[in-house]
Amino acid sequence: MDDDSHRARYRIDSSSDISWVIPLPKVLGEIFVPGAGIGVSRAADQRQAYAKHDRMRGYFISEPVMQTLHVARDFEVDAATVFDVIADHAGYASLPGVLSAWVRKPGDHEPNGVGAERVLKLPAMTLVERITEYEPGASLGYQIIESPLPMHHLGGRILLQPLGTKGVRTRVHWTSRLRGTTPIAAELAATVIGKQMSLAYRLALATWARRLR
């Protein structure tokens, strides 16, 4: 039996042309099709085998599932004041866990606006984020475009919601979407990364809230 008979091909992202080929040991074939290895001569037999043991298949081959993160915090200042802080990319260096931060490419029309690329140097890695939305006093959007993490970042957004009739208080909503990119256990990878990112967002909001008291 050739090597291809011990492989399973699946698409990692429906929006991409990339396919991963995962070598699977012959013993898995004994689980799916007793005595036949993972290679099945007839397509009908293969479909039947995978349908019958679909719950076991999930342990070995994972399909990417999007993770959506959301954290929020109230600030005792107006939205314009909050925006000035969250749009100060170099100021991210004062956040917990960030060693340094700078803008490596200015925005198309505003230095910190759409098209700007900010670099965040962390203890174990460096991230590069591109600003995709810039509405002073209202919202800031971005996307992580360079990262060593096994994920595809679909975008993040910080939305400012004025509270009360006078708008002297603001609720900040921070959302982010991502998918894991590991050939195996992509959903687990995205979940772990998502929890760390959510913690970082909460710490950032808490730091900014204390600064703006």
Domains parsed from the chain with CATH numbers: 3-60 (no CATH), 67-211 (3.30.530.20)
CA distance 132 to 188: 28
pLDDT of 5 reads: 43
pLDDT of 27 reads: 33
Place of tokens 């995205």: 190
In sequence order, the 6+-apart residues with CB closer than 8 A to the CB of 85 are 91, 208, 211, 212
CA distance 212 to 77: 7
In sequence order, the 6+-apart residues with CB closer than 8 A to the CB of 181 are 12, 13, 64, 150, 151, 152, 189
Question: φ, ψ for residue 164 (rounded to 5)?
Answer: 80, 165
pLDDT of 213 reads: 87
Buried b (16+ CB within 10 A) or exposed e, 156-185: bbbbbebeeeeeebbebebbbbbbbbbeeb
Partners of residue 159 on adjacent β-strands: 139, 173
Each residue's pLDDT tens digit in the chain (213 positions)?
Answer: 554 444 433 333 333 333 333 333 333 333 333 343 434 445 555 555 555 545 444 444 555 678 999 999 999 999 999 999 999 999 999 999 999 999 999 999 999 999 999 999 999 999 999 999 999 999 999 999 999 999 999 999 999 999 988 878 999 999 999 999 998 888 899 999 999 999 999 999 999 999 998
Comparing C-alpha atoms, which of 201, 206, 155 is closest to residue 177?
A: 155
